[in-house]
Structure 1
Amino acid sequence: MAAALDLVLNYFSWSKDKFIQTYFGKKEAILKRATSEDSWKKIVDPLSKNQRDIVVDDQEKNRLILAGPGSGKTRVIVHRVAYLLRVLRAPATAIVVLAFNRHAANEIRERIQSLVGRDSFGVTVMTYHSMAMRLTGVRFNRDENVDEARLAAVLEDAINMLGGGIKTARSEDDNDLREQVLRGYRYILVDEYQDIDELQYQLISALAGRNLDDDQRLCILAVGDDDQNIYSFRKTSNEYIERFQNDYEADIHYLIENYRSTKNIISASNLLIEKNAGRLKYDHPIEINKARKHEAAGGDWSKLDLWRGEIVCLQLANEDREEGNLQAQAILQRLTRLIENGANWSDCAILARTHKFLQPIQA
């Protein structure tokens, strides 16, 4: 109690410099942050230098994060939201995160809550369609059969409600409506930007107020990778991620450290993808994260896969049209050998173009 009373008395009687030096020593920088030291460490310590540079930037700049596979894309979004909440003290209702599907949205929401707890209540984390439904007030019953055309119509209605992001003469009523439906949003973060289609592009543009006056625009951060656009069958295009820098006068950041794959997989992937023309990360090949640089090229598989030396390989099997199971036999022989060397069945995955090719393996 005596020490506590001394601290209080000294707070009101000493100079600021003397008080800080006596009670906080070399921790002056922590005092400038609007959060505790433990909270700061929880937000910042798990990040790499490149991730940290993105997360802890105090400037309200638009940013495009070109992030390779396994480089911590979702982590950057989650920790950026935590930084906005805990350090910059942005209200939760000022933040909206758009995700590609409900699974991704749920994961982001849970990870934010795990990081900052109740401070995350009020942050909007939604899919594009859910966001459009909230803006327009549309609801579908659980037993309704909702086709793509109806979902597209909801997106179009939301885009029109927000003015379509097109700079036209707008009345005060229009501006009031926009402010009302956006609930005072200031920050918009977009996951997997390479997967958006034309309507989603327009919705993001309208939400961000891309073509409106500066004071009406949201600060936007998008994370994506043009190398990972695999949804062209549903009209997604790299065109939108390629236009982002000009659309939003955005700074470009690169996340190229892979925390997931072995050196052999990364090397094989780089050799293949570098043949694609016009890549945004052409001069920034993926590399293994620093903590694993000295590991064997095949990681744990270097000890388990003695037969082929843990490399990425192609094995040819002359398929017998009558038997139709030589590929299945080759796969099972390979997996059985791995299991005998100490691998687990749960370490293995088999991919096939259609179910019929999996039936011999299942048998």
Structure 2
Amino acid sequence: MPSPHIALIALALGLLIGVGVTLLMVWAYRARSRFADEVSTQIPQGVTDVLAGMDDAACVLDASGLVVAVSQAATGFGITTGAALENSELRTLVRRVRAAGGSVSETLRITRGVTLDPRLVSARASVISPQLSLLIIRDVTERERLDQMRTDFVANTSHELKTPVGAVSLLAEAIDSAADDPDQVRIFASRISAEASRLGQLTGRIMTLSRLQAAESLAEVGAVAIDEIVAASIEGHAVQADSAGVELTRGGDRGVWVRGDGQILIEAVGNLIANAIAYSPKGSRVGVGVKADGDVVEIAVTDQGIGISEADRERVFERFYRADEARSRRTGGTGLGLSIVKHATQRHGGEVRLWSRPGRGSTFTIRLPITAAPDADDAVSKKSKKKKKRAQKAAAVDRARNGELA
């Protein structure tokens, strides 16, 4: 028969073994739970690489709503790893998709990061595992702006075309009713000619602006002398300046060259000169100055006119926008000139700046990258090509006239 001491020792050992087994089971259960949690929240292979290559803002969130991985663009919306989503609408979208499964898309207007800049976004949330969700945010603000610009452009173009077309129709009826009065017929005919000219100018500028916005590159690119651009622009508006009693002057640096389309640049500078003349009082001066500043050339057109208010300075480069509607109507302005200037300058890798004060005048400055002057042989070849083109055009006109006379 075993002694009491041996029984007690056996009982103690049994208790110790039982406690050890229990502790081992608890540890194994907890380890298995931790492993299950780690597996459930582990980002699927390839998702991180996909996020790194995405242009859109995107993030992966765990079951508690914390961000565990982000794309580079996500930081622009204030989304960072280890934090919850700040935007309540995005949080609601993620909760909805976790409850229903699958994916959900919504268009939202949210504040972007710390800039407090409202952005229109297309947000899509999807479940990618029992514990993880994917949120993709695509900024469509610019697309919305472009759609609105297209809508406004069509509406404004229709409105602007309707005015001269309606005037021509009414004047044609007036000529018909005044057929027995030669003086009235001449008056109405001259007004029809003016409206037709305005219509032609409008359609021409619409086509120019459309080409500048639609084409990926300029049609004819080469070395262009700023001296020729300025001279042609001033010469093309000399009659307008004389009629308005405005003096045109030219100053600044000479012998500067840029790379681009000479005809487009002449139209851009010419638009600035035409505007300066139209908004200048009789007896004032419009100056065109050229300044080479390092690797940039500045072409500044300065007037002593009525100036532009601060509110209008933000919008004068918009299509069909007029700071002075009544004056623009009287001078036959289309509201497209400054928009053409902006897009033409941007197409040449430059920018246009504006300084203005009401009552003191305005200065529009086109800044373009300078290029090296072409070799003498290239310059001669370029002049020969221009001369040949002019001769071909003159011959075509003569042929047309001969055909009409025949």
Q: TM tier, shorter chain?
A: under 0.3
- The structure in which a higher percent of residues are strand is 2
Relative contact order (C-alpha < 8 Å, sep 6+): which is higher? 1
TM-score (norm 2): 0.22
The higher radius of gyration belongs to 2
